[in-house]
Structure 1
């Protein structure tokens, strides 16, 4: 099974659920997204969100962080445990640590209020496009191997197989970093996010662990590690896997 954006276009309207305790924001976003050709529902808190989800399966959820009762972070984590629906967090809290924690809880993107609805629409389209490239039901944890650029990663044995039959056993951080990139092809992942996912800690100002790990992976994967074509450096952004991924159950 391969994930090519051109072959995964949906005929029906994308369904969006907006969870925000501000009625004015809910109405504004619903009206704007409806006008953009999407089908929307809204909820003012977590309990209402679960009620809506009983009868409406969205393609994406826009989730406010500051909600009465259960907050957005806890809801995002609970959503990830129960169902595979991408989440964009929409919140007034824009500090770096808030964005990192939001991503760690499973959010696919993070947008700070106040935001232009046009930017939100653009972010929604990007996340939906990524979801079609790598559907949530084809999770890396549930597949036996992933193929990319002539390589195959065995996710059970944590081995990297080359075209010529060579096999390399990957260490913990190298395996986790490669698996993370393969889970998000064509998506820029920040050094902070990679560091948190791979090493379980925040990245310090002089912390080069992620760069060293990516360098090791390039030495294994690239024909020319100084001019990489598989793992691309995004200036002021981080790293991105720039090839398509095929999954095998």
Structure 2
């Protein structure tokens, strides 16, 4: 028997019964999947039931060809659950020492929460803060928000990060759907990473910070599969454009 094992960090978002599911790959690609039997489709994608017929075989082969999973001879094992917020003690200390900022951690991205922290910082002038969370197959940190890295620089906000993410996405409606699912349900529909993968990603983030990596105006992505760390510059959005994400 063959079983489909989705890659760690994938997400399977439920949709209305006649619309199947939205499969999200660990690298933030989206595929809309449908099957004649919704419950059987869910079991196939969860890796708890074998490929049962030609329809499922074709779908499983497509997922594998798309790079979001593999076929195996047995059910997908459930990984030991890990909590990111329990593993960030050393990184919190590094952020406080190097940036003079507080670290705001979450298990997965919560867009509304971060936008609310923007408003809180603007109202209270509470100083810089740094978001750290998991997004699919990556541990994501930064950039420094709410405080200028140098006096001449305009502070970056989460709204700036959000705007630029949406502007760059080729699948904006699906990305918004993913964010909304995380906001409402946390990581309920994610294939969450094993404890060892998440712990290693935190270690790599800490080592990257020790080596002088900058989070002041960059977002850093640490792949859970061990691929190289990447950094992405974030600039404030020019006045007048922000309303385009409403």
TM-score by length of 2: 0.28
Q: Higher relative contact order at CA 8 Å, sep ≥6: structure 1 or structure 2?
A: 2
